[in-house]
Amino acid sequence: MTTHTIALHRVLRAPPEKVYRAFLDPEAMARWLPPNGFTGRVYQLDARVGGSYRMSFTNFTTMNSHTFGGVYAELRPHEFIHYTARFDDPNLPGEMHTTVTLQKVSCGTALHVVQEGVPGVIPADGCHLGWQESLDNLARLVEPNIPQ
């Protein structure tokens, strides 16, 4: 089975604590993680080592959905997240591993995302573009500093 690895880097004008929270809060994830043209729904999320999550992306044009879920393998608050993901669709086989590294920098957070094991039937450039769109959405969520 052919797989891809996707690697991205982005600097966000937000502290690591806020970015970390966006990766583990179900409402935040449903808002920023789906790429453009998709909606997201989180069915379950237990953000602890060994805890699991389950969610779906729905193509707003076709209304086709892909449900997936996985386990949190490692969590270091405000620094590192490693989780797995498997699609329910047998045409999207295998287990993906995603690592998220957060580093405090002078203007906010340097974010590094590596996703390994992306099924070969998903074009690598399309997956990369989807992640770029998701990270744009993440920036719109975490960068504003709105006082109480």
Nearest to 138, CA basis, from 11, 6, 3, 1: 11
Looking at residue 59, which CATH number applies to its domain? 3.30.530.20
**pLDDT, tens digit, 9 for 90 and up, residues 82-127:** 999 999 999 999 999 999 999 999 999 999 999 999 999 999 999 9
Tell me if 147 is assigned to some domain: no
Tell me if 12 is assigned to some domain: yes
The count of structural domains within the chain is 1
Tell me if 148 is assigned to some domain: no
**pLDDT, tens digit, 9 for 90 and up, residues 32-43:** 999 999 999 999
Tell me if 60 is assigned to some domain: yes
Burial profile 46-57: b = 16 or more Cβ within 10 angstroms, e = fewer: ebeeeeebebbb
**Taking 90 as the threshold, does the pLDDT of residue 148 lie above it?**
no
Q: How many CB atoms lie within 10 A of CB 146?
A: 4
**pLDDT, tens digit, 9 for 90 and up, residues 40-69:** 999 999 999 999 999 999 999 999 999 999
Tell me if 76 is assigned to some domain: yes
pLDDT top residue among 54 and 148:
54
Structural domain that includes position 82: 3-142
pLDDT of 1 reads 75
Tell me if 93 is assigned to some domain: yes
Give me the percent of the chain exceeding a pLDDT of 70.
Answer: 100
Tell me if 112 is assigned to some domain: yes
Tell me if 117 is assigned to some domain: yes
